[in-house]
Each structure stands twice: as C-alpha cells, then as structure tokens.
Amino acid sequence: MTDTAHRPAAAGPPRLEMQGIAKRYGGVRAIRHADITVRPGTVHALVGENGAGKSTLIKILSGAEQADEGTIAIDGSPVSIGATTDAIALGVQTVYQEPQLFPELTVAENFFVGREITRGPAIDWRAQAPRMLELLDTVGLDRGLASQPLGSLSIAKQQQVSIAKALLEQASILILDEPSAILTDAEIEVLFGVVRRLAADGVSIIYISHRLDELFRIADEVTIMRDGETVSSQPIGELTVREIAERMVGGAISEGHHEDREHGEPVLELESLSLDGAFEDVTLTLRAGEVVGLYGLVGSGAAEVGEVVYGMRRATSGRLRAVGDDRHPASPSAAKRRGIRMVPANRASQGSFSFQPIAFNITVGSLGLLGKAPGWVSPRAERRISDDLIRRLAVKTPSGRQPIGAMSGGNAQKVVLARQIVEQPKLLVLAEPTQGVDVGAKEEIHRIVADLAERGTAVLVITTDLAEVQRIADRILVFRAGRVARELPPTASQASLLAAAAGAIDDEPTPMPGTTEEAA
Amino acid sequence: MTATAPAPAPASASGQVSLRRILPPVVTGQELVLLGVLVVLWVLLGIFTPAFLTPGSIGPLLVQVAPIALIGVGMTFVIITAGIDVSVAATIMVSAVVTARVLVAADVPAVLAVLLAIAIGALLGTVNGVLIAYGRVHPIIITFGTANLFQWLGLRVFDSSTVNGIPGTLDFFGRGAAGSTLGVPHSFAIAVVAVAVAWWFLRYAKAGRNLYAIGGNQNAARLAGIKVQPRLVWVYGITGALAGLAACMIIATGTSSLDQSVGSGKELQVIAAVVIGGTSILGGRGSVVGTMLGALLVQTVVSGVTQLGWPTQLGFLFVGICILIAVGTDLIRERARRRA
C-alpha cells in the first residue's frame, strides 16, 4: 500500500516515536517520563504492573487523553493527537479489552457499523463486499461467517472481528490491549497467526499483556514500565521472563510484617478440586486464624475457587470440606448457614444496595439478629450494630443514614466488609478486597483482615495485587492457567511471585535483581 | 459510472458474492412458525365456523388489525432500540379527539384532517423522544408519565362529554363500501405498505441497521459514531405519527360519536403484537413482518373466540399464553447465548 519498509530496522524512520511523555491527573503523576520507539512491521510488547502507566500511555497514543509534555512522531513527522478521530486519521487503531461489538448484527455489519458506504439511504453492500472479504481473509475468518450473527461466534472469533473492524480504515499502528486475557491456548494460536500476518504486511503492533511467557513467542521487542516510567526497551530475545518480572517490580522488597500466629483446626480443606473451564486439581488446607492468599493474573482460575467455596458455583470433581461439613455448599445461603462469608470482587453490582443507607447495607445479611421476634426488624438494634461496626472499621461518615452510593470506594468497601463480619465468620473469602481503593483505606482494610484472623477467622484472600497478597497472607498459592503453580511464603520476592504467575520456565533469580539500564 | 473502468480489478475478482451471503436470512424461523400457526388457525376456524373464511368476516378482521399493525411498525423500531412506548393509547386519544372536534366544527377536507392527526401524534411522540434521548431516564418511566399527561390533555379537549355528529369525511378508512377497493380495506392496505417500507428500511438502510446497533449496545454504538440521540427522537416521533394516522382509522371505523374510552388498551395490543412477532424486548433484534403476523394472530384469536361462541374472556387467556411463549423463547435463547 504505502511505503512499508520490510523488516530492515535501520532503513527509514521508526513507525512511532514517543519521547518524554508525561501526564498527571490532578496531583497524581500517571506518567513521569515515557519513551517508546516502534519500528515498522514489528510486534512491540508493552508490559508493567497495574498502575505502571501503560494504559495511560496507550490512551495518549489513541487520542483518548492528551499528554502534558512530550512529543509524538509517526513515520518521522511530528504529529499532534488531540482526539480519537485524529489518531484514526493517522492510522492508529486500538482494539480494547472489552470488545465494542453488536451481538445481533452480522459479522459483516459489525465491520462497517457507523462507517457504512451508502447509496442514497441504503447501505451499498456491493461496494462494501470487496473490502469485507479482504478483512475476513486478513484476520483468517471463514468467508461464510460474514452473514452469521456475531453473537453466535466464539469469544476468540469475536476478537478476530474486533481486529478486522480496527483494520477497516488504513491502520499502520495497531494497539492490542490484553487480547489474550480471555482466550484459551488454542485460540491464542489463532490470534498469534493474525498478529504475525499483520506484522508481515508492515503494520506495527503494540501488544499489551500480563502473560509474560507468551510475549516471547509473539513480540520482537519489549518496553517495560514501572511507576510511570519506561525503564527499558530492547529486543525481547535479550531478556528472560524472570528478568522482565524483576524490572516490572523493580526488585522491591516485601514489606510484610508477619508475626507467627498459632493456627487452629482446619476450617477449609480442598483435595484435587476441579471446575471445568476454570481450575484443576486444587489442594489446600486453611486453618482457623490463618490467612491464605490465592494470587494469579486475571483469568488464572483463582477467582472461581472462591466462588465454589461460597456456593456460587458447583465444582465438577474433587473433595471440599468446609467448616466440618463434607458436602459442597449448594448455594450462598447454604454457605452462610455454615458461617462462611464472602466479599465479592465486583462490589458495585454484587455487593451493595447503593440507594440504601449504610446501616441497611451493614445489617441486610443478618436481619435475624435484629428482631425480638422472628421476622421483626428493630430499628434500634440496627442502629446499635451498624454504629458499632462503623466505629470499629473507621468508616468515614456523618451517620449510618447516608446512602452508600454517595461514599468513596474505600469507605463503600469497608461497609461491604462490615456486613460480612456482623457475626464473626468462621471462614471469610475476600475477592480483590482493595481494588479501586485509596492507599489509606487499603491499609485499614488490611488491618481489619489481620484483626479478624487474630480472633480465629480463617481468611482466603483472592487477589491480583502483588503487594497486597504479600502484606496480608501467611502463605501464598500462585495460580497459573487454572492450576496451583507454586506455593510461596509472603517473604518471597515479588519477582518470584510474578514470574510464577506469568509463567517463567526458569525459577533461578538473576544475580543482579532490580536495577536496569537502558540498552538501546 | 466509474465501475465501467477496468480499475477495480480486485473487486471484480471477488465481486461474485451475492447479497444473500452478506445479509441475514430474509425470513426468520419465528416468522415461519407464526405464519404456520396463523394458517392452521384459519383452516381450523374455517372448518368449525363456515362463516369465518368469508369476505364478510375477514374484511372487518383486517380493518381491526390495521391500526395495531401500523402503530406496531413504530413500536417495533422503539423496541429494537431497547425502548418501549406505553403512551400510544393516550396519543391516539388526543389525536382522535382533536381531529373529531375539528371535523365537527368545520368542513375540512379528509387530507387536511389526516395531516392534522399525524402532526399531533408526531408532536407528542417527539416529546417522548426528546425526554428519553436527552433525559436518560428509562423509556418506560418517561412514557408512563407522558401517557398520563396526554390523557389529561385529551380529557380536557373532550370537556367531559362525547363528541357527536362526526361527518363521514374519513370514510376512506372505514368499514363501509367507501373503505375498501376490490374487497381490500384501505386501512389494511396502508398498514401493509407501511410494513413493506419499514421492512426495507430495517434491512437495507443505514439508519435502519443502526437501530439494531443502538439496541444491541448503546455505548458501543455511540463510540462507532452513530448519532444515538437524534435517532431515538426520530423513532419515538415516527411512532407518535403512526398513532395519529391510526387515530383516523379508529374514528372512521366507529360510529358518528367518539367517547372518552377511545384508544384505551391499544398500547398493550400493539406491544403484544410486536413481542409475539419475535422482536426481543431486550432490544437489538426484531422484524416488522413478525409484528404484522403478530397483530393478525392476536386479532384472529380474539375474533375466533367470538365466532365460535366461546366466552370472550378466553381471548385474553390465549393472547396471554402467546405472549408468554414468545417472551419465554426469547429469554431462553438469550440465556443460552450468554452461557455459550
């Protein structure tokens, strides 16, 4: 099509050069200093922990945000990207993690939605057909799928449609944001085939992923971000998974403070527990007063273990013994009767009644305690119990009558947590307990969890937050692809944990952890 | 014109692709099932009540179906965008009473009366559309509110009495000899034309296809560059306008007087026809051909029960069962898809 340089790196200017990019939101510096150079026809991986600044960098490139400082050049000429339409005009296309597609429309229609070629009021399918077939071929979809409703396709095929849609208009830079997070291994192969074909056609691809092992099979180069800075950028062959993980976390030392507690009787015992399509062969023992962390990347299967323990889903095989009962909990209410409580990850939709006052939100799960007679709810008892917990958890609110919907994320999370500990639970399952919560509230929630364990509650913490699992867990089971990859103490380095979760083949730490130098 | 040049070589190489391979099938399974049910019902009714399959019976049935199917076209658009309009009965009432009063007061020609009725309906529909598109409140709340408001407006115009002595200006839409040509009622013919135009629009026009996108995923539709809000205003406006035209048919098929119950219950009949016709109440899927078949089915069941001499309340029972079956299959299909 245009002047696509084939492979030779030195020839011609880079496809994309972003230099000295900085961005702050209010007082928070999302990006301090970022440089990235992407050559034509290469796959460039962008990695970093949550909050390292990679999504902000992508937003700046795709025009969703504007940088405070720095320059962007495409094919050697400086450009300014003030809006998403500018980015698209410059050939920058983005495929977001959440596909923006229409399940009831056909595959072909999804390509063209909003950008249809028309003749009068009608869509001119004869004019659109050649481009449509070209797109289907480019992403490796069968031509017969054109007339299928999108909703009838597998997730992987829908993702191919997403990519094809992004290619409708001339794309020279394609950003793929975590494209593999929801795919199976076989589906990832198909995705890689598409990515390689596009790169061979001269498209530059920026590939964001948390699965470090797969990057070695698809990426040519890798840029690593940490705390708002790009710490290194080089051909991926020069690094190992272990080294990438170390640079991502910066060799930070764990700040866990663990006094050894006496643990009591086993409260939860899992033996070769499996749930088809989620996790396999999980074995673990959790004792009273113990905090066990299940750490894994999104989609690792750890989240589903919590759902099975709380009776939200039914395991396919294996043994589950919880609070002295060998039967699998059949429902959340069955689990509750045994003294199992859970704080779900998605608290906005699963955890809170946003128009109701705080007091209602705290006591809604324990109305049986509030009445003098069955079925009768005493407002005075509700006040007493909720005021007590508001004090204990240091919820910042003028009174228990405020609606929870008006509170900050951290306070709302404390209220949701409060509901589960009105009665001291025997077993508490916490899923992402501090996601989207500010640092202060995070600290307090961790203190509350430690306090509960002190009083004899067995706590299962499921999290994708590395620092969090180290801080509050007594033991950490690292999940990868539905299996327990390793069991590590909280004193293990972040690099080891991340490497285990992201799929390092080598577990040997490199001699010089942490520090990095530009190797451009 | 440019196509005559040899330039678009790749296009002609793959240009053999027919439209049938790109667009969804012309007739859906649900429409075929409905058509089958309808044919079976008509045959059975023909056998058990020989009077059913005569022009004297079918004609009035089609006249009854016409306003339902006509408003059903607009309602299908509305429900495809994941909305609903429960104010159409009140719109009919306002449009009908104002038009009837004007007909009584002055000797206006039919065309003018029809245009007036349509304009009133379009105005009320646009009010709905603006509130829904820009107020961002669920359509059922908005139209429930405006339904009461329109009702009040209509009752004010009635001024607590019936409108009497309406002249036969609108007999073109009526049951009488002036209301049909070669045995086909004009009102039903108009409804068929409306369905045909809407079918083409929903299948081939950009604006029509975009309605499905809006109903399927409104946010994604906005990101794809579809002007969601103007489209919603338009959709509710059209529904109101069609309700206005339907009001003319209702005036014409009644006696020379109009009472305050005019239009009442029509919104539920229209929604029933749309839902039975296979349009998903969740939005994103639906067809006007299905709506026409749904309207025919509902009216056939109601008339059939009467003609068989059965208690009329059985009509409600059968229509209710049809709705539950239609909504049930839709929800089951949706859940199966989510699980997949």
For A117, the 3-state DSSP assignment is coil
Is A103 in Cβ contact with B284 (below 8 Å)? yes
Summarised one tens digit per residue, pLDDT across range B193-233 is 999 999 999 988 889 989 999 998 888 888 777 888 999 99
Rounded Cα gap, residues B240 and B235, in angstroms: 9
Rounded Cα gap, residues A46 and A94, in angstroms: 14
Adjacent-strand bridge partners of A485: none
A62 shares its domain with A84: yes
Last residue of a domain, one of A162, A187, A210: A162
CB-based contact, B285 to chain A, within 8 Å: yes
pLDDT at residue B66, as a whole number = 94
DSSP state of A287: E
> pLDDT band at B21, cuts 50/70/90?
low
Q: Note the ipTM here.
A: 0.76
Adjacent-strand bridge partners of A224: A47, A232
Summarised one tens digit per residue, pLDDT across range A414-435 is 888 888 888 888 999 998 887 7
The better pLDDT of the pair A77, A155 is held by: A77
Phi, psi for B206 (deg, rounded to 5) = -60, -45
A86 shares its domain with A104: no
Adjacent-strand bridge partners of A95: A176
Q: Taking a C-beta distance cutoff of 8 angstroms, is the pair B128, B87 a contact?
A: yes
Q: Domain for residue A35, yes or no?
A: yes
Taking CA atoms, A398 is separated from A88, A357, A387, A403, A414, in Å, by: 48, 12, 11, 11, 15
Q: Domain for residue A212, yes or no?
A: yes
Q: Is the pLDDT reported for residue A158 higher than 80?
A: yes
Q: Is the pLDDT reported for residue A368 higher than 80?
A: no
* From A105, A116, A125, residue closest to B19, measured CB to CB: A125
Q: Taking a C-beta distance cutoff of 8 angstroms, is the pair A320, A328 a contact?
A: yes
Q: Taking a C-beta distance cutoff of 8 angstroms, is the pair A366, A378 a contact?
A: no
For B141, the 3-state DSSP assignment is helix
Q: For the residues A166-181, what does the mean pLDDT come to?
A: 85
Q: Domain for residue A440, yes or no?
A: no
Rounded Cα gap, residues B323 and A38, in angstroms: 58
> pLDDT band at A11, cuts 50/70/90?
low
A229 shares its domain with A370: no
Is B207 in Cβ contact with A129 (below 8 Å)? no
Q: Taking a C-beta distance cutoff of 8 angstroms, is the pair A427, A452 a contact?
A: no
Is A151 in Cβ contact with B337 (below 8 Å)? yes
Residue of B nearest to A64 (CA): B223
Task: Give me the CATH number covering residue A53.
Answer: 3.40.50.300
Q: Domain for residue B251, yes or no?
A: yes
Lowest mean pLDDT segment, chosen from A117-131, A354-368, A499-513: A499-513
A73 shares its domain with A106: no
Nearest Cα to Cα of residue A425 among A303, A343, A346, A351: A343
Lowest mean pLDDT segment, chosen from A177-181, A199-203, A242-246, B12-16: B12-16
Chain A residues with at least one Cβ partner in B under 8 Å: 100-106, 108-109, 113-116, 118, 121-123, 125-126, 128-130, 132-134, 143-144, 146-147, 149, 151-152
> Domain range for residue A76?
16-91+170-249
Single-letter amino acid, residue A410: G
Q: Is the pLDDT reported for residue B294 higher than 90?
A: yes
pLDDT at residue A503, as a whole number = 76
Question: Mutate which of B18, B204, B282 to test chain A, going by most A C-beta atoms within 10 A?
Answer: B204
> pLDDT band at A516, cuts 50/70/90?
very low
> pLDDT band at B8, cuts 50/70/90?
very low
Give the helix, strand, coil percentages of chain B, each rounded to 5: 75, 0, 25
Lowest mean pLDDT segment, chosen from A12-16, A36-40, B16-20, B33-37: B16-20
Rounded Cα gap, residues A194 and A202, in angstroms: 13
> pLDDT band at B337, cuts 50/70/90?
low
Closest Cα in chain B, distance from residue A416 (Å): 28
CB-based contact, B8 to chain A, within 8 Å: yes
Q: Domain for residue A122, yes or no?
A: yes
* Torsion on CA atoms A274, A280, A285, A287, rounded to nearest 10: -70
A140 shares its domain with A36: no
DSSP state of A12: S
pLDDT at residue B10, as a whole number = 37
Contacts of B209 in chain A (CB under 8 A): 105, 109, 113, 116, 123
Rounded Cα gap, residues B246 and B340, in angstroms: 43
Lowest mean pLDDT segment, chosen from A91-95, A510-514, B310-314: A510-514
A188 shares its domain with A66: yes
Nearest Cα to Cα of residue A473 among A493, A501, A453: A453
Summarised one tens digit per residue, pLDDT across range B48-90 is 888 888 888 888 889 999 999 999 999 999 999 999 999 999 9
Is B216 in Cβ contact with A103 (below 8 Å)? yes
Task: Count how many pairs of residues, chain A against chain B, have C-beta atoms within 8 Å.
Answer: 94
Q: For the residues A130-146, what does the mean pLDDT come to?
A: 86
Q: Strand A173-177 to strand A204-208: parallel, antiparallel, or no bridges (unpaired)?
A: parallel
Q: Domain for residue A497, yes or no?
A: no
Distance of CA A305 to the CA centre of its chain: 17
Q: Domain for residue A387, yes or no?
A: yes
Q: Taking a C-beta distance cutoff of 8 angstroms, is the pair B236, B121 a contact?
A: no
Q: Domain for residue A62, yes or no?
A: yes
Last residue of a domain, one of A393, A422, A451: A422
Rounded Cα gap, residues A275 and A304, in angstroms: 8
Contacts of A113 in chain B (CB under 8 A): 209-210, 213, 221, 224, 226
Q: Domain for residue B19, yes or no?
A: no
Q: Which of residues 113-152 of B touch A (CB under 8 A)?
A: none
Is B220 in Cβ contact with A101 (below 8 Å)? yes
CB-based contact, B297 to chain A, within 8 Å: no
> pLDDT band at A437, cuts 50/70/90?
low
Taking CA atoms, A512 is separated from A60, A242, A247, A509, in Å, by: 34, 11, 11, 8
User: Average model confidence (pLDDT) for chain A?
Assistant: 82
Q: Taking a C-beta distance cutoff of 8 angstroms, is the pair B214, B282 a contact?
A: no
A234 shares its domain with A378: no
Contacts of A134 in chain B (CB under 8 A): 10
Adjacent-strand bridge partners of A284: A270
Total of domains in chain A: 3
Rounded Cα gap, residues A319 and A268, in angstroms: 11
Adjacent-strand bridge partners of A226: A229
Residue of A nearest to B207 (CA): A121
pLDDT at residue A101, as a whole number = 87
Total of domains in chain B: 1
Element (H, E) at B104: helix B88-105
Closest Cα in chain A, distance from residue B225 (Å): 5
Q: Domain for residue B281, yes or no?
A: no
Q: Taking a C-beta distance cutoff of 8 angstroms, is the pair B146, B243 a contact?
A: no
CB-based contact, B2 to chain A, within 8 Å: no
pLDDT at residue B126, as a whole number = 96
Vertex A100: Cα angle to A95 and A104 (nearest 5) = 140
pLDDT at residue B11, as a whole number = 37
The better pLDDT of the pair A294, A170 is held by: A294
CB-based contact, B210 to chain A, within 8 Å: yes
> pLDDT band at A253, cuts 50/70/90?
very low
Q: Domain for residue B329, yes or no?
A: no
CB-based contact, B277 to chain A, within 8 Å: no
A144 shares its domain with A207: no
Nearest Cα to Cα of residue B291 among B68, B9, B111: B68
Q: Domain for residue B126, yes or no?
A: yes
A156 shares its domain with A53: no
Residue of A nearest to B227 (CA): A114
pLDDT at residue B18, as a whole number = 61
Q: Provide the percentage of residues in chain A whose pLDDT is more than 70.
A: 86
pLDDT at residue A513, as a whole number = 40
Tokens of A100: 């923006």
A232 shares its domain with A145: no
Strand residues in A392-474 grouped as ranges (E)? 427-431, 458-463
Summarised one tens digit per residue, pLDDT across range A302-332 is 889 999 999 888 889 999 998 888 888 888 8
A243 shares its domain with A131: no
Last residue of a domain, one of A399, A422, A445: A422
pLDDT at residue A367, as a whole number = 67
Q: Domain for residue B233, yes or no?
A: yes
> Domain range for residue B247?
66-270
The better pLDDT of the pair A510, A83 is held by: A83
* From A100, A123, A133, residue closest to B209, measured CB to CB: A123
Contacts of A101 in chain B (CB under 8 A): 217, 220
